Amino acid sequence: MFLLMATQFVDEVSKLSTFIFLSVQSLITSSRNQYICSKIQKVSNTLISSIQEVLKELYSHEVAEDQIQLQKTRKDFEGDVTLVAFPLLRISKKGPEQTGQEIGNALVAKVENVEKFNVVKGFLNLSFTANYWVSELANISETANYGFREKGDHSRNIMVEYSSPNTNKPLHLGHIRNNLLGYSVAEILKANGHEVRKVQIINDRGIHICKSMLAWQMFGKGESPQSSGLKGDKLVGKYYVEFDKHYKKQIAELVDSGKTEDEAKAEAPIIVDAREMLQKWEAGDEEVRALWAKMNGWVYEGFDKTYNRLGVDFDQLYYESDTFLIGRDLVQKGVQDGLFFQKEDGSIWVDLTDDGLDQKLLLRSDGTAVYMTQDIGTAKLRVDDWPELNQLIYTVGNEQDYHFKVLFLILQKLGFDWAKNCYHLSYGMVDLPSGKMKSREGTVVDADDLMDEMHETAKAQTIEKGKLEGMAEEEANELFEMLGLGALKYFMLKVDPKKRMLFNPAESIDMQGNTGPFIQYTHARIQSVLRKAGTIPTVSELESINDNERALIRLISQYPEVIQQAGDEYSPALIANYIYELAKEYSTFYHECPILVEEDENVKNLRLTISAITAKIIASGMKLLGAQVPDRM
């Protein structure tokens, strides 16, 4: 009796373990299975049905297609695709290894392009024939925009916001990650067949803007970009730092005179004047508005130069000075509708405590708007501009996670159904070996200065390695820029967006390892081979391919899946690391497989085709990251 109970217990535990395994496995592989199954069906258009037929023949059971779990074979095992045997044990009534062996033998006999198999525990690893992979390669070589999806039923209208700077200082290292991430996500979404608009909200009003304006009035003596030789955004940023210096001095003096620190911060004459300037701006004071327009004009000209060099662009610009008015009207209407409440001092708030949040200020007591006000107005204006909009993505650092929870909830309370389709693409901050940046103290890493540094570092390393033979000076400078910015962009985007990252300029530009220059050099090396080869004939059938060829073709075939997954997860890091793996695999292939000196013409043509497609994918993937690749270096 005890043995019977123990046996039943073990059987139940086994069933439960299998169920848990299948549930977890399904979660892990669900995002990939649809793509993988469509690829596998190309083997003979009957693989899935062949598996169903085999199962019926072996075990007298009909199994639905969605119960057949196929996934990529793990890198440390031999095989191209893996059938998970565990779900089939209930019909085979046998152990996982025996079940896998029986199914594998039957599939090799039944499916033309499955040549062999191996079983590792409950996983049946199938290997395709050489001719399958050669045929796959030929199809890829004839496909324009390989990996990109056409517009179709899956397509959506998506607006991606990024950059969104304040007009009181130049762009810095944090803005670089923001811009590169937002731009790349937009390009990846386009590659997935979506209609995308790239936008930014320019924070061109508020107390921070008035600080720069007031400091320029007080200490600038008419200085301009023309008279100083500074870019406009840097000139305005200079006075933002100047304001902070005098503000701190006044606070210290008031504290010394007996004021508390909070009192001193509120009563310092320079901050009082800045608040008065903001009130005049919102009241439409002509003199204040004229100064604001002049200084913002300097900033915009400076921003444009930085954006052009960084290689990012926008389809539409929004300005806080316009959108805060829409937000203010919506807030006041919310008070009338009982959604928001007004305190005795006249300020307007929303109470989100029932939603697990807190009370949030929407309009100050003096009637001036806060960031939340303009964000409410901006969202409404964007949907009005594009009524067919399906999703609005905000590329903003994770220090604003709470802000966007509040914003999306307020928009829902205002009755906007589209609010549920708003998404915060939250990313981690960028640190330097020297520590965090502080813009008020003027210790930020300026974006322009960083790009200059990357250019010069690329120049020094390229000259040191002697890779400039036969290059004219202009071409060499273009190469330095391409390598420097490619290193910067790749290093920023290879890290998962959610993670905080440490940016090390010297490490990013190394020609070896997981870096942009290594990938760029691989592309240049391939182009050199292709130039020497001339025309690449069509690939013919081959009886066999070696492990290096197979591994590279298999990796090439995964590019569409990677693009789709990167779009689904808003993660350029998936593209970046795939391109690195491809370049690394090609480097091994290049050293192990002779190309131009190969005597067998079919093998030579195969290797040239592999090389050409690899170069095409590297260029395509790097372009999705906003980076370029050289044809020679």
Q: Where in the chain is the domain with CATH 3.40.50.620?
A: 162-431
Asked whether the predicted pLDDT for residue 126 surpasses 60, the reply is: yes
Residue-wise pLDDT tens digits, 340-365: 999 999 999 999 999 999 999 999 99
Identify any residues that bridge with 198 across adjacent strands, giving them in sequence order: 160
Asked whether the predicted pLDDT for residue 438 surpasses 80, the reply is: no
pLDDT at 12: 43
Q: Among 7-16, 86-95, 303-312, 377-386, whose mean pLDDT is lowest?
A: 7-16
pLDDT at 158: 98
Q: How far apart are the first and last CA of the chain?
A: 78
Provide the pLDDT confidence category of residue 443 given band limits of 50, 70 and 90.
low
Residue-wise pLDDT tens digits, 79-120: 999 999 999 999 999 999 999 999 999 999 999 889 999 999
User: Which residues does 463 contact at the CB level (< 8 Å), separation at least 6?
Assistant: none
User: Which residues does 269 contact at the CB level (< 8 Å), separation at least 6?
Assistant: 250
CA dist 351 to 151, 369, 378, Å? 43, 17, 21
Query: Of residues 368 and 186, which shows the higher confidence score?
Result: 186
3-state secondary structure 259-323: CCHHHHHHHCHHHHHHHHHHHHHHCCCHHHHHHHHHHHHHHHHHHHHHHHHHCCCCCEEEEHHHH
Provide the pLDDT confidence category of residue 159 given band limits of 50, 70 and 90.
very high
Task: Read off the pLDDT of each residue in 245-270 and give the average, rounded to a whole number.
Answer: 97
SS3 call for 394: strand
Q: Among 72-86, 196-210, 290-304, whose mean pLDDT is lowest?
A: 72-86
Q: Among 47-56, 187-196, 523-532, 539-548, whose mean pLDDT is lowest?
A: 539-548
Residue-wise pLDDT tens digits, 368-420: 889 999 999 999 999 999 999 999 999 999 999 999 999 999 999 999 999 99
pLDDT at 4: 41
pLDDT at 433: 77
Q: Are 602 and 589 in contact (CB under 8 A)?
A: no
Phi, psi of 541 (to 5 degrees): -65, 145
Q: Where in the chain is the domain with CATH 3.30.1360.70?
A: 23-128
Q: Are 481 and 507 in contact (CB under 8 A)?
A: no
SS3 call for 126: strand
Neighbours of 86 (CB within 10 A): 19
Q: Among 8-22, 133-147, 188-202, 561-575, whose mean pLDDT is lowest?
A: 8-22
Provide the pLDDT confidence category of residue 46 given band limits of 50, 70 and 90.
low
Asked whether the predicted pLDDT for residue 442 surpasses 70, the reply is: no
Phi, psi of 202 (to 5 degrees): -95, 115
Which has the closest alpha carbon to 159: 450, 395, 336?
395
SS3 call for 393: strand
Neighbours of 256 (CB within 10 A): 9
Task: Read off the pLDDT of each residue in 320-335 and give the average, rounded to a whole number.
Answer: 95
Query: Of residues 469 and 107, which shows the higher confidence score?
Result: 107
Tell me, which fold does domain 447-624 have in CATH?
Answer: Isoleucyl-tRNA Synthetase; Domain 1 (1.10.730)
Q: Name the residue with tokens 């292939």.
A: 589
Which has the closest alpha carbon to 115: 142, 134, 138, 96?
134
Asked whether the predicted pLDDT for residue 439 surpasses 60, the reply is: no
Asked whether the predicted pLDDT for residue 38 surpasses 70, the reply is: no
Give percent above pLDDT 70 in the chain: 91
pLDDT at 203: 93
Give percent above pLDDT 90 in the chain: 78
Q: Are 617 and 556 in contact (CB under 8 A)?
A: yes
Task: Read off the pLDDT of each residue in 209-231 and give the average, rounded to a whole number.
Answer: 97
DSSP code, position 67: G
Residue range 23-128 forms a domain whose CATH class is alpha beta
SS3 call for 550: helix
Q: Are 200 and 303 in contact (CB under 8 A)?
A: no
Q: Among 61-70, 338-347, 536-545, whose mean pLDDT is lowest?
A: 536-545
CATH match for 162-431 among 3.40.50.620, 3.20.20.70, 3.40.50.2020, 3.40.50.1220 = 3.40.50.620
Asked whether the predicted pLDDT for residue 218 surpasses 50, the reply is: yes
Which has the closest alpha carbon to 434: 506, 491, 341?
506
Instruction: Determine the Cα–Cα distance for residues 99 and 85; give it in Å rounded to an integer.
Output: 7
Asked whether the predicted pLDDT for residue 3 surpasses 50, the reply is: no
Residue-wise pLDDT tens digits, 560-609: 999 999 999 999 999 999 999 999 999 999 999 999 999 999 999 999 99
Q: Among 41-50, 139-148, 262-271, 281-290, whose mean pLDDT is lowest?
A: 41-50
Q: State which H helix or E strand residue 251 sits in.
A: helix 232-256
CA dist 113 to 116, 197, 384, 490, 548, Å? 9, 44, 54, 38, 19
Q: One-letter amino acid identity for 344?
A: E
Task: Read off the pLDDT of each residue in 220-235 and give the average, rounded to a whole number.
Answer: 96
Neighbours of 623 (CB within 10 A): 16
3-state secondary structure 412-475: HHCCCHHHHHEEEEEECCEEECCECCCCCCCCCCEHHHHHHHHHHHHHHHHHHCCCCCCCCHHH
pLDDT at 199: 98
DSSP code, position 369: B
Residue-wise pLDDT tens digits, 458-468: 999 888 877 67
